[in-house]
Structure 1
């Protein structure tokens, strides 16, 4: 008799894991959640108080940083990274996050690893005030080598139609504020891995008081709930999550085509990890177009409100600086 389990799919183990997920997700619930994990779909009631609510959706993954995270046993960080990549995108329009779904694909299910990934999602959902209402764990024998997995997230939020932050109010003379990143975040790792493969970077080398490995594997910084609060500030005209393409490739996406961004590249301290990457042979323009260089999120604000907006960031525990202007 040939069974499904013989083919590499253990349904009983997956069902057991779903029960364990429920306890993890319960910590990342909100009063608007209807029902729990385990059904065919998750349910959530829209918060009251919105006159013309607009739903906002984002999805993203971790990219090739995942290779390093898997190799060094950082499954929880993989969950955090996937959550942050979605939630930070969501924040840029001023949306309040409502819920997330996670997706985990494996060749052979390892319950301990799967729980860590989901726990990473739950950690950041809790911080963002967002519910983790379900997801998918796909066991696909033959698709992934032993121990490997892929992870992605999907987030939905809500924003008042008249309150969408979309850059339309930007004007010449507005200032660009930059919020500190935690390091490389989740972009540029194909280049980092190439440098490692060629022996141009050493994971054990000192990097600002920690091994380079630790600096590279820092979780992507979560800019919620701060991003939602900033979206309620009338002086904030545009917000950008600095991902692939660096500052040049992302700030410009949030402002009208008639305006240009002038970045003062020496106006903030850069984490040591970027100096090591540059010293490994990456030219300046490639650094600018690939990495966040210490700025993970930007705001465009009226000049007169720059100081008060910076203070709001600092009160939330996020370092921020004036890093440029519009012209």
Structure 2
């Protein structure tokens, strides 16, 4: 050893980390509302619980974006993956009727590329603005040797608030209720290990055309964030239960909100299946049951309402810019029957 060792010589650049913080501070500050008391830069962020709640309940969620990141690396497209990260957590806490308050992110890599990280965080900030929450903190971890060059990992954490008496848990769902489906923007952030295997096995290229756009563009379309429209519709329509359609598709996620004595019967002809799912099924020779167990197949979010409210709910979601279809109904569940079937 001829000279003293430094952190930089070990592969960690404090200067790069400082530069990233300098760049992302204004991005985060654009998401701030009245509740933010202290944000990025301190040891801990501070947020004031909103007034107007008699018995506020905090609802938390955490998630990542899985191997969709591999597509972002392959296509060198990093500006939308942050929206995916936000969507996966805020859509989850929305299920119980919570309005998102704030979000934190974790970005890990072996060598920090400030330009790439800035693109990712810009997408996170944009997602927070769409969800109506503040990006108040996070962690950037530069860990030499932990990841292949040019790759990174992401995790996100969301906290929202709901009135305790207005929490939505699905317990009031009964036979005769209607299942509504809100359109997804594509596969969202689930099933990408299978997607990448299909692309590889079929010999397809991300530049191939799929219904007027490249395959890569279709697959990297960011996850839709449903918070603002759903919270708005909740003001006029009694929503009995909701489900975020993530890994497990309709057949695994819808039963999570149902009482044990009922099942959801969903008709596969109740909505138009987007072209990307037809492409995946055809090129992967994926059976129908597997498609509905892995992918959202065009339905990114499910809402259950009374039959008497269904038409008004569809209209209300349409007024909020959401495409909404009545896709099924709640029935009595027989012994040994699944909680959700797609017919």
TM-score scaled by length of structure 1: 0.98
Task: Check the 8 A contact 1:78/1:117 in 2, yes or no.
Answer: yes
**Which residue, out of 126, 150, 154, partners 2:153?**
150
C-alpha distance in 2 between matches for 1:16 and 1:214:
30
**Which residue, out of 315, 318, 328, partners 1:324?**
328
Task: Check the 8 A contact 1:88/1:223 in 2, yes or no.
Answer: yes
**Which residue, out of 310, 316, 320, partners 2:314?**
310
SS of aligned partner of 1:158: strand
Alpha-carbon distance, 1:231 to partner: 3.9
**Which residue, out of 88, 91, 100, partners 2:91?**
88
State whether structure 2 residue 280 is matched by structure 1 residue 277: yes
| 1:125-204 matched pairs, under 5 angstroms | 125-204=128-207
Alpha-carbon distance, 1:35 to partner: 2.0
**Offset from partner CA, 1:22-63 (integer Å, 9 cap, x none):** 111011111110023111110000110000000000000000
**Which residue, out of 18, 21, 36, partners 1:18?**
21
Match of 2:337 in 1: none
C-alpha distance in 1 between matches for 2:148 and 2:227:
35
SS of aligned partner of 2:240: strand
State whether structure 2 residue 268 is matched by structure 1 residue 265: yes
C-alpha distance in 2 between matches for 1:282 and 1:200:
16
Task: Check the 8 A contact 2:243/2:303 in 1, yes or no.
Answer: yes
**Which residue, out of 189, 209, 218, partners 2:212?**
209
SS of aligned partner of 1:150: strand
Long gaps (5+) in structure 1? none
Aligned pair count reads: 327
C-alpha distance in 1 between matches for 2:83 and 2:238:
30
Match of 1:122 in 2: 125
C-alpha distance in 1 between matches for 2:204 and 2:296:
19
Regions of 4+ moved over 3 Å: 230-234
Task: Check the 8 A contact 1:175/1:325 in 2, yes or no.
Answer: yes
SS of aligned partner of 1:236: coil
SS of aligned partner of 2:42: coil
**Offset from partner CA, 1:236-294 (integer Å, 9 cap, x none):** 10000000110111111111011011001101011000101111111111111000000
Task: Check the 8 A contact 1:92/1:227 in 2, yes or no.
Answer: no
Task: Check the 8 A contact 1:94/1:230 in 2, yes or no.
Answer: no
TM-score scaled by length of structure 2: 0.93
**Which residue, out of 5, 8, 24, partners 2:8?**
5
SS of aligned partner of 2:157: strand
Task: Check the 8 A contact 1:261/1:325 in 2, yes or no.
Answer: yes
Long gaps (5+) in structure 2? 332-343
**Which residue, out of 31, 36, 44, partners 1:41?**
44
Task: Check the 8 A contact 1:174/1:326 in 2, yes or no.
Answer: yes
C-alpha distance in 2 between matches for 1:71 and 1:204:
12
